[in-house]
Structure 1
Amino acid sequence: MTNPLALDHQVCFALYSASRATTAAYRAMLDDLGITYPQYLVLLTLWERDGRGVRDICEALDLDTGTLSPLLKRLEGSGLIERRRLSTDERRVEIHLTEAGATLRSKAEDIPARLAEATGLSLSELGELREVLVRLGKTLQSSNAHSDGKKKP
């Protein structure tokens, strides 16, 4: 009989372990670019669409402003982004890539292929894995949202 509480049977631990290993693999690749993994995530949002608002980046990365602000400061200090206050609303700030930030994109383009090589999976297999993980996350977020409204015993 198998032990349902054995560590190696837990989805949570498999995800945790895979997440740590994946982040470490990215870290090694990103060291060459002079950025951290969280900074890379911010840059990905800007490489998708430059000139995003802080709130928009927070939503895209599921971060709060208290976590994002220090990342933006470091990226600005590195000369990769600049903040611009909207002339129509001084309270709102848009984040824009600098020329150096835009140029860094071409140096990062091989990262998905390098990750696939590091994992031994093809790009399509990694895409399928990503889809399963996205579905898992959405299902659990929805389930957690529904259960938050219920009284707990």
Structure 2
Amino acid sequence: MIELLKKIESFIRGAVFVAFLVMIVAVLVQVVARTFMDQAPLWTEEASRVSLLFIMSLGVGASFLTGDLVNVDLALMLMPPSLRRLFDLFSTLLVSIFSFMLVPGAWEFTVSGSWQTSPILGVQMQYVFVSMLIFSVLLGVFGIVKFIRILKQVPVSQPTIH
């Protein structure tokens, strides 16, 4: 199970890297074109938006698992470790439940894109909308993994004071 998670995480990191490259190239082309041309290519804006969606949808689960998501945890810092662990368990469980509740709606949203195409790239929107399904599933799955790690008392990233 741990080996499978590592492979999934490695694949996700690679996919996020590719999406970042696409976004960097699109934005760079747009900036250069706006500087030296009368009008920037239209595809650059749409490509950067789509790549940003995939960066977010692919990265959220792994970020939740490692504690890299931005959160307000001042109250957690003041709690004793046992109470902090209880709150971590509860919030992680709620995030997972909520994420899995989003899956049916995300699936319907994805399917609705089969009869739409993006205006500039000409891509069927279901390939763009699937990012919401990926977001929901990965956040739910990695939330369960984090929940199990907290239950087994495997060290999970804790908030730090900066």
Which TM-score applies when normalising by structure 1? 0.32
Which TM-score applies when normalising by structure 2? 0.31
Structure number having the greater helix percentage:
2
Which structure exhibits the higher relative contact order, with contacts defined as CA atoms closer than 8 Å and separated by 6 or more residues?
A: 2
Structure number having the greater strand percentage:
1
